[in-house]
Structure formats: C-alpha cells, structure tokens
Structure 1
Amino acid sequence: MIRRALVCALLAVLPLALSGCEMMQHISEGAYRNAVADGTIAELDEIGVRMDRRPDCTMPETGSESIVRVHCTGRTVTGARVVVTGDATAADTARPRESYTVTVNGHHLVRKDCLGRGCR
C-alpha cells in the first residue's frame, strides 16, 4: 500500500513542466501522507498500540528530487506521543529505497522499509 502511494507521490515531486500539474502534485503528496498515516495505524494496531486518531503528516522540503521525507505526529488512546519519520532515497527512480521509524514516547517500536498491511 505504501509503495504504490510512494510511487505516485514521487512522480509528483519531480520537476513539473506543465501548468496545471500543481494540483496533481498536491493530490499525490496528500495520498502519500495518507498512506503513511494509515500504515502507521496498521503497524501499531498489530502490536497492540491504539491511536486516538489518525496521525498528522507533513512532507518537509529536501531540496533534492531524489529524496522524499515524511514526518507524522499523533497520540495513542492513552496519550503517549507518536512520532513517525520516513524517507525515500533514489525517489526519482523506478526503485526507491524507503525507511520508516515509529516511536511512542521516545521508544522505537517500528523500523521497517514499508508500513501497513501487506508489508513484508
């Protein structure tokens, strides 16, 4: 799930030559942020940690077409702080390399190269 959304997002962050593509870029970045948020919820659910709501995700500028970053924050139902960091290198290629870390109250609970159901 994350990988498909990443490909769409990565295509969107490549330089855009046509006007009107800004809307597509915005939609694709939103789809990627949503996929990471959903993947985080699924990963935490799998280990018995429940979110109080969907994490809020942003995509900080990297200054490079080959690097995409995502940063998400949220809370568990018990109020613990959840932080998700992720990046994709070689993002402007057909085979980006992804890495995600999910911490709860500063403790690393998840370190994977993809998030969500169907993730290896």
Structure 2
Amino acid sequence: MRRVPAVLLAVLLAVTMSGCKVMQRISDGAYRNAVADGVVDELKARGIELEARPTCESPGRESDSVVRVGCTARTMTGEPVKVEGVALNADTADPRESYVVTVGGREVLRKDCLGLGCDQQNR
C-alpha cells in the first residue's frame, strides 16, 4: 500500500476545496503521520528497528505547491534517525516527492515514495 501519495491527495483536496486553515492543519498532520508510518515500514524492511515511531514536523508551507516534512527518531541501538522530505506540485494531481533517511549520519534511503509496495506503483 502506498500511503504517502494518498495523503497528499487528501492535502490537495482539503486545501483546494476549503480556505479553512483548520482543514489545512489537519491535512498536514495526516501527511506527517503517513510519512512517519512509511519510514517505519521502509526501515523495518531493511532490518532497522526504531525505539518509537518518528516524530515529524512541517516547517510551514512555502506555498500550496511545496510541502516539507522533517522527522526524527532513534534506532533500538540508540542511533539517531533523521528524515527529510518534500512534495513538489502538492497542489496538483501529480505531486513529486523526495525523501532522504539517515541513520547515525549515514544515508540509508533516498526514494520518491515511502511505504511497503511504493516501488511497484507506476509513477
């Protein structure tokens, strides 16, 4: 299941269908949750277990078309985990995503989608 793009679609719909800031914050929260879940799945598939679910924050929107997310966590062995993500064209039906995950300062993942099965999706 490819979680992140589905949530980006929800962000897009909420922002374009409503000028309400509350809806935008809820959608941003859903996006952060989807990224956290995707990171857990991706790292687990690589044999990396986390102490707890990543904590993700959005630094604020540059525009409706650019959404950034940053997450932190720790592995079971205490190494720091850092996630940097961006969705460009987030206000369209075809957003372009990019994610980089480091563990202990070493890059372990650079992908344009997160979550189990995302590589099988046609992009």
Question: TM over 0.5, yes or no?
Answer: yes
What is the aligned partner in structure 1 of residue 69 from structure 2?
A: 70
Matching of residues 82-93 of structure 1 within 5 Å: 82-93=81-92
User: Residue type of the partner of 2:118?
Assistant: C
In structure 2, the residue corresponding to 1:101 is in which secondary structure? strand
**Equivalents in 1 of 2:16, 2:77: separation in Å?**
40
**Equivalents in 1 of 2:109, 2:84: separation in Å?**
11
Indicate whether 1:6 and 2:8 are aligned.
yes
User: Residue type of the partner of 2:37?
Assistant: D
In structure 2, the residue corresponding to 1:51 is in which secondary structure? coil
Matching of residues 1-120 of structure 1 within 5 Å: 1-13=3-15, 16-17=18-19, 21-120=20-119
**Equivalents in 1 of 2:15, 2:56: separation in Å?**
16
Note the C-alpha offset of 1:16. 4.4
Note the C-alpha offset of 1:65. 1.5
Listed as ranges, the gaps of 5+ residues in structure 2 are none
Q: Is the 8 A contact 1:10 1:68 kept in 2?
A: no
State which drifts further: 3-12 or 80-89: 3-12
Note the C-alpha offset of 1:23. 3.0
Listed as ranges, the gaps of 5+ residues in structure 1 are none
**Equivalents in 2 of 1:107, 1:26: separation in Å?**
32
Note the C-alpha offset of 1:14. 5.2
In structure 2, the residue corresponding to 1:73 is in which secondary structure? strand
TM-score with structure 2 length normalisation?
0.87
Deviation per residue, 1:65-108 (Å, 9 max, x gap): 21110000010011000000000111111101000000001100
